[in-house]
Chain A
Amino acid sequence: MTTASVRRNGRRGMFYWQLAFTLLICLFMIVPVVMSVTAGLTENYFVGLSSGLTTRWLVEVWNLYAQSIWLSIYLALSCLGVTLVLGIPAAYGLLKSQKRWASLVEELLLMPVAVPGLATALALLLAYGGFRGFRSSWLFILVGHVLFTLPFMIRPVLAVMQSINVVKLEEAASSLGARPVQRFLSVVLPNCTSGILAGALMVLTLSVGEFNITWMLHTPLTKTLPVGLADSYASMRLEVGSAYTLIFLMMILPFLIVVQWLGQVMTRKASARVS
């Protein structure tokens, strides 16, 4: 054997080791998901798969928690709307002000992420719990979600704005006669789509999965998916809780895929735009 073929064989051996290791890690992470999903589909988890497969638990979960599911979706989309409306101008403002307080504001925005959700929720309850109508509506939870997710919108948008030098692009647009609103819509926004979509993805997923703040703020009528999940695990049979997980996965996966796909389409469209 020549040294070259020894080296080649060595490299191939290395490759299989790496592959095996990667697969092992994947298995380690996927097995719990698979077990949870199968638990939600088996007749009796303690007897095992031999008891037979059923969609009975799914139906039961749907009947019990459909409202929570809709609320979660509604809440996530509202949260996205609010963070878009607040976050993009905020990123733009932070970009434009080179002042010292700009970085202070950025750090302040991150506070709700660093502080435990329970503390944020408690503060909200102390401050606004007295307004009964507000306290018992889903808007109260929305406020908590927005507080928590806003930095995840601002950061990627700000990063993109900095990387494509939005200030210079705007100067060019203004020299060509574009008024502030026109250049924001025609130059700033379209060139920040990648950051906006990355932010949107984070906001949606974080809002759908948020538990800490929501758990403190929810009322029996404003229960979101994760809160319902905790509820079902605590008070019902394991199969129901697992079926709940399955529904949760079925909700969130298409959501993520659609957003990802949208991102690709938008970027392609943006780069091929002709008027």
Chain B
Amino acid sequence: MATNIVRNENSNRPATAPISLRLRHCGRTFPGTRGSHAPHVALQPLDLDVEPGETLVLLGPSGCGKTTTLRIISGLEQPDIGGQVWFGEEDVTQLPIEKRDVGMVFQNYALFPNMNVEANIAYGLRIRGLSPDDIRRRVGEMVDMVHLNGLERRPVHELSGGQKQRVALARALAVRPRVLLFDEPLAALDAKLRDRLRVDIGQLLRSLGITSVYVTHDQAEAMALGDRIAVMENGRIAQLGTPREIYHHPGSAFVADFIGSVNRLEIKGAEEGQLMVAGGRLSVARYHGASVLYCRPEDIEVCPVTQAAITGRVLQTFFLGQSQRLFVDTGAETPLQVESPSREQWLPGQTIGLSIAEEALFSIADAQ
């Protein structure tokens, strides 16, 4: 408690070493609401460790518990009895959000409409009682950092969505929080702006080295920003790992399917070191005994039919600009998805050959 008081009074401290963040047995059950009286388990009790300075992304579909986890970390939500939240060596479970020293960026910006850009950024500093000089200096730094120069006096309702989110980011960073929390910050922006702001946020997070938790349902965002990603499903973590691990070695069919597209190849049998699949056979040394293998669309190559491991008929092509997506009927239940360079031309009905490198194939433990 004593350390906490010192911290609040001395928010002008130099950027301190980043802290770790730990959740221990944090679950959340909501009492039954109207209609259904059964309590709703939003989050199964979970443990989660975020290293100092790391950006952890919580990724999953809506209702998977990612936002609840974030709100428990922030202090907006209390975990069920027995749950603990640790910031470094301090147990903050009982602390309300205003004493936790977190910075939050919300999906709908949540800027204060009664204040202009400058006053929004200065809000946390004023609350902490910094001197006007310090506030002015810190606000100036923040405005530079998020490239809002010249807009300091603008009322926030005159800003574009991207500018609003920059103000929100500056406002959260101005108080030098111990932990930075993002709740789907880019979801309300259009695609182009989302990409740009994603790059900016990524650079900012790397250069600041601040411990961050980032909630999103967008897998591209998760992979671009996360040092590690926790994919969540039904109130529990389905897989936790680096973006590469998650993408190339998904731990479950759900994860494989949620992150990018994936092809499912059913193994019909083995013959002379080759695995029989719909449309052909795969020459692989591993995976004998597996019933299903997976591969990503970009790992399948179109090749002459004579050299092909699998042949199939093009059902449909979707031009994506930087590439094209082919749907190829190989006789299996679902067509294979193949990513091919965008300059090649394929016609629906055409028979093509496909090859898959052995290292591109993976199996999933829980898949049947």
Contacts and interface: CB of A to CB of B under 8 A. Distances in A.
Contact residues of B: prevailing secondary structure = mixed
B112 A187 contact: yes
Interface residues of B, number: 37
Given A176-B127, A177-B98, A275-B119, A190 B175 contact: no
A275 B110 contact: no
B127 A177 contact: yes
Nearest to B102: A175
Nearest to B111: A172
Contacts of A176: 98, 103, 123-124, 127, 171-172, 175
A273 B76 contact: no
Contacts of A9: none
B78 interface: no
Contacts of B106: 168, 171-172
Contact of A172 (B112, B118, B128, B157): B112
Interface string B12-45: 0000000000000000000000100000000000
A256 interface: no
A103 to B, nearest CB: 11
Nearest to B11: A177
A92 B126 CA distance: 24
Contacts of A191: 112-114
B151 to A, nearest CB: 13
A175 B157 CA distance: 21
Contacts of B124: 176-177
A273 B115 contact: yes
Nearest to B116: A274
A87 to B, nearest CB: 20
A273 B114 contact: yes
B180 to A, nearest CB: 10
Scoring B101, B103, B113, B119 by chain A CB atoms within 10 A of each residue's CB, the highest score goes to: B113
Nearest to B153: A274
B96 to A, nearest CB: 7
Nearest to A267: B114
B338 to A, nearest CB: 44
A175 B8 CA distance: 13
A198 B56 CA distance: 46
A273 B119 contact: yes
20 contacts: A100-B34, A169-B110, A169-B112, A171-B104, A172-B106, A172-B112, A174-B96, A174-B98, A176-B98, A176-B172, A176-B175, A177-B99, A177-B101, A177-B127, A177-B128, A191-B114, A270-B114, A271-B113, A273-B116, A273-B119
Interface of B: 8, 34, 74, 76, 96-99, 101-104, 106, 108, 110-116, 118-119, 122-124, 126-128, 153, 155, 157, 168, 171-172, 175, 181
Interface of A: 100, 164-165, 168-169, 171-179, 182, 186-187, 190-191, 270-275
For the complex of A and B, 4 pairs with smallest distance between CB atoms: A176-B124, A172-B110, A175-B104, A190-B114
